Structures are given as C-alpha cells and as structure tokens.
Structure 1
Amino acid sequence: MAPARTRRDGPPGGGGRLMIIAADHPARGALGVGGDPVAMADRAGLLDRLCAALGRPGVDGVLGTPDVLEDLLLLGVLDDRLAIGSMNRGGLAGTSFEIDDRFTAYDAGAIAAARLDGGKMLLRIDDADPATASTLQACAQAVTGLARHELMAMVEPFVAHRIEGRVRNLLTPEAMIRAVSVASGLGATSAYTWLKLPVVPEMERVMAATTLPALLLGGEVAGETDAVLDGWRRALRIPGVQGLVAGRALLYPPDGDVGAAVDAAVDLL
C-alpha cells in the first residue's frame, strides 16, 4: 500500500500554507464530540467524514495513527496528499498515567519506511508529574530521528496540570510561551521541527517565542463555529503561522456539513 502511494513533490509547506485534517484522537481514547462521548467510535463514519474532507479543494493531507492511515491508503485517498503519522498515543485520556505519553504508534523509522511525510507528537509538561521527564526525552529522540530522515517533526506542546484528578491544559499566553520555548529546543536539530499550537489570547506574544513554523490546532467545537473561525483568522495574520491542523472542529461540525466546514477553514488560508 504505502510504496504505491503517489507522494507530493517538495517539502511540506513548500507550496504555501497547509490545511491538514487531524484524525488521531481515537487511539488516545478521546472519542467525544460535543455531548456525544463516543461520536468518533464509529470507524466507518469517521472514514466517510475523512474522505469527504480530503476530497475538498485546498486540503493538503491528514494526520493519523497507523490504523487510520492504512484504511485511507486502502481507500485510495492519500495520493498527492501529505500523510503525517501520529506517534505517542500512550497517554490515554482520563487515566492516572496520562502524562506518561509513551510512543505506542509510529516511530521515526516506521514513518520513513511507510514513506510518510512526517510525524506528530504530543508534549504535555506537568511540573508535578515525574512522567513529564520521560515524555520530554522520548519526544526529543523522535525529533532527532525524524530529522535524520529529513522528515517533519510536528510537536504539540502544552503546560498541563491536574484539576480534580483530570489533566487540563493551561491556555494562557504565559503557559503557551513556556511550552513553545521548551518544544523548540527538543532534539539534536530543529531544522525539521514544526509546532502545532492552540489559538490563545495574545498569540503574537506566543509566536514571538520561536522562529519555528507553526500550525494552528482546532480542538473541539461546542456550538457555533464562528468564534473558532475568527480566532484562526486573526492568528493566521501572524508571521510564522503557516496553516491549520483541525480534526473534530471540521469532521463533526454542529450542522453536520463536513464539506462546508472544511471549505470555510480553507477560505481562511
């Protein structure tokens, strides 16, 4: 399957801003959308939505775990699309070991062997959880490994803490500045590192903390999408912001129209 895929010429982002559809949530046990705690559990439904999104003009590719990307390869929808492999899915949502975010999906060698275009890793920094140290080390090794293959390393950093036993990301400018600063220094080189960041207040200050290119993440949309689109629109004006990586916000829009949601996001680019 993978050897037969027609890959896009040139490096990621070489032709302009990127629009990537994210579909790596299920492997971390994060299946909820809105009020439905298992909205993403229907795999055929998820694949239908992914095919619809990947078929829209202006969509560059997809981010997913091996099971999802292999399904999409079998469906023949990844030709001339970027395919980014999700790497650390071991920090299952809601567990006591969530910060111990082990690399249970792709590693750098597997991404290169599958002829993918890069790898994505989640990095949550919890000052009170010793497992942060091993996650930092694993992410640094992944950045270095991907760079050896001249492949994109997409790092999604947060400062996190536990509230009533559940991990919550701190979405203040100061917390994101700290997370960006730590993520930018991971690995033996940052030549192939991109950041995947949420839109937070004072994004200009956040982006001033790094010279690395950044993609904006979508997160979950509760209610109307206008506020999300407006946040993306403002952040995309900032130098260094190179596009979007959105999943649930586009695949499960409140009105159910995947095509319209994707088109609205693409229009921002």
Structure 2
Amino acid sequence: MTGSAVDTAALTEIRAREPGRIAAAWDERTLRPLLPADGRLLLVAADHPARAALGVGADPMAMASRTDLLARLTTALERPGVDGVLGTPDVLDDLLLLGALEGRVVIGSMNRGGLQGSAWELDDRFTGYTAREIRDRGLDGGKMLTRIALEDVGTVATLEACARAVGELASHGRMAMVEPFWSLVEAGRVRNLLDADSVIRAVQVASGLGPSSAHTWLKLPVVDDLARVMDATTLPTLLLGGDPHEAPGQAQATWAGALELPGVRGLVLGRALLYPPDGDVAAAVDAAAELVHGGAA
C-alpha cells in the first residue's frame, strides 16, 4: 500500500507517560461544519476491530496490525474530498495524536459489545463512546449498529439502548447515526437480510427510535430497489460500502447511481477503501471522493 509509516511506539510512550495529552488534544482540535458546501459526506469507517471483525476477503486477520491500519487510515484522511472518520476511542485517540483529525468530521462508534460470532451478538451492548463523551470531546456524532432479529430476545435490549442514545445525542445537538438491519440467526450465526423489504422494515423501526429524530441519520446498505428503500424515510442517509474485492468499476457504478437518489448524502466506506484489491489506498479514496464530491473534491 502507499502511505507513510506510523511510529506506534511513540503513541504507546505518550499513552504511558502523558495520557493527559489525549484530552488536551481533543480540546485543541480544529473543528469544521458537519456538511461541506455540496451537502455530501465521505467518511472512512474504522470500528471493525473492536467487534473482533478483523477479516478482509480471504484473510481473517487482515486488520490485526494497528501499525498497518493506522498507516492506511492516515493515507485516506490526507486525501482531498475525505470529510472524516468513524471509529472507536482507541483508534480515534491514535489518529488524534498523529494529527490526522484536524478539520475533520469525527463520528464515535458506540455499541461494540455484540462481538462477531458470540452467543449474545444481538444483545449489542454500548461498550464504546457515550453521548456525553462525544459532546465533551467535540465529536460530531455517534454511530450505533441496530440489528433486529425477531427470534432473538437480545434485540429488545439493543433497541432500548439505541433509543436512549438517540435521545442523549439529540439533547447535545449531535448526529445519531443509526445503522439498522433486519437479521436472522442461522446455525448460531447472524445474517443480515439485504432485500429491499427487509431493509425498509429496519428503516421504519430505526426511524422511530428515541424521543427526538431531529439529529438522526441512517447508515444503510446499497441493495436492489434502493429507490424504494429511500422512499421509506426522510432521514438523511449515508450508504455503506460493499465487498472490498468487488471489481472497482462495478462498485463505483453502483455507488454513482445510488448517490443520485433523494435523501442520500454520501458514503461511509471502510474495508473497501482501506484494503482495496490492488493495495493502493490513495487511488481508492480518490475515486470515492470523485463520486461523492465530483469537482468540488
């Protein structure tokens, strides 16, 4: 991949000797408006590791190296047209100390307790950011995964926790990014249903979470008949990226069409940008930025 090496030993030294530098750096960080002039966002997602979801393609441990992940993230965040990043506190604190979050939109990942493959996966506890910490550190919002499986009792605890988080974020004037899926449990594993009807059901449940929807956004997959999905909500929506090993031209054509739909405000791309098939992170990011922002990037 392209990009500069990251001195993770220096980050560990700061954490060991001067942990107070992290809070101070959040207080001093240069902020920006949530939306740029064109009203669209391109965010890079990096909250997969905290849920033990380390695989990319055929490599189940692709995201295991923090040095490599940070190098890929800093490369992505340096590119024009990238608005910001979504991550857990450990990753965002590292990026903060590296100076990569200046003037960037930052979304904190809130519920990472539903570990991939666990017996309690759908009882997705809030083990990351709190709404108060998001406010105090000057983050722009919080993201919550909201998987709905009617046969799993863990779903109701997750729905209640997400509703509470939506309300708390709204009270602080921060975005609540809700990522809903209608899901099934098959042979002990969770499978998200990606047909339009299932996504619409999930959208309707997610839209009604919390005492206020004033700051609620959705993060949705790109599925067939996406126009009908988008007709199910008035909430601003960011679309999530697909398979990082999908043919680049095919992925870009899919995203380009989806970005023209009413209500779609941009993309949240993780492994599709950070681990492209050819390893060229900068080129993958530039292509996505051109789709989202066009000449404005």
Q: TM-score, normalised by structure 2?
A: 0.88
Give the counterpart letter for 1:213 in structure 2: P
Counterpart in 1 of 2:222?
199
CA RMSD of aligned residues (A): 1.0
| Unaligned runs of at least 5 residues, structure 1 | none
1:177 is paired with a residue whose SS is helix
Counterpart in 2 of 1:2?
26
Counterpart in 1 of 2:231?
208
Give the counterpart letter for 2:27 in structure 1: P
Q: For 2:131, which of 93, 105, 108 is the aligned residue? A: 108
Contact in 1 for aligned 2:220/2:239 (Cα 8 Å):
yes
Contact in 1 for aligned 2:242/2:251 (Cα 8 Å):
no
1:40 is paired with a residue whose SS is coil
2:146 is paired with a residue whose SS is strand
1:61 paired with 2:61, answer no
Counterpart in 1 of 2:4?
none
1:237 paired with 2:254, answer no
Contact in 2 for aligned 1:216/1:244 (Cα 8 Å):
yes
- Distance in structure 1 (CA, Å) of the matches to 2:243 and 2:110: 21
1:17 paired with 2:76, answer no
Counterpart in 1 of 2:17?
none
- Distance in structure 2 (CA, Å) of the matches to 1:96 and 1:56: 40
2:183 is paired with a residue whose SS is strand
Counterpart in 1 of 2:289?
266
Q: For 2:244, which of 221, 238, 245 is the aligned residue? A: 221
1:148 paired with 2:160, answer no
1:53, CA displacement in angstroms?
Answer: 0.3
Counterpart in 1 of 2:96?
73
- Distance in structure 1 (CA, Å) of the matches to 2:234 and 2:36: 15
Contact in 2 for aligned 1:26/1:40 (Cα 8 Å):
yes
- Distance in structure 2 (CA, Å) of the matches to 1:3 and 1:214: 29
Counterpart in 2 of 1:177?
200
Counterpart in 1 of 2:107?
84
1:31 paired with 2:45, answer no
Contact in 2 for aligned 1:157/1:197 (Cα 8 Å):
yes
1:39 is paired with a residue whose SS is coil
Against the structure 1 CA distance between its residues 267 and 14, is the aligned structure 2 distance closer, same or farther, given a 3 Å change threshold?
closer
Give the counterpart letter for 1:73 in structure 2: L
Q: For 2:63, which of 33, 36, 40 is the aligned residue? A: 40
1:102, CA displacement in angstroms?
Answer: 0.4
Contact in 2 for aligned 1:50/1:251 (Cα 8 Å):
yes
- Distance in structure 1 (CA, Å) of the matches to 2:189 and 2:62: 21
Contact in 2 for aligned 1:215/1:244 (Cα 8 Å):
yes
2:58 is paired with a residue whose SS is coil
1:14, CA displacement in angstroms?
Answer: 6.0
| Unaligned runs of at least 5 residues, structure 2 | 1-24, 293-297
- Structure 1, residues 221-263: CA drift from partner, whole Å, max 9, x if none? 2342222222111111101000000000000000000001011
Alignment length, in residue pairs? Answer: 268
Contact in 2 for aligned 1:66/1:106 (Cα 8 Å):
yes
2:244 is paired with a residue whose SS is coil
1:159 paired with 2:202, answer no
Counterpart in 2 of 1:135?
158
1:195 is paired with a residue whose SS is strand
1:30 is paired with a residue whose SS is coil
1:102 is paired with a residue whose SS is coil
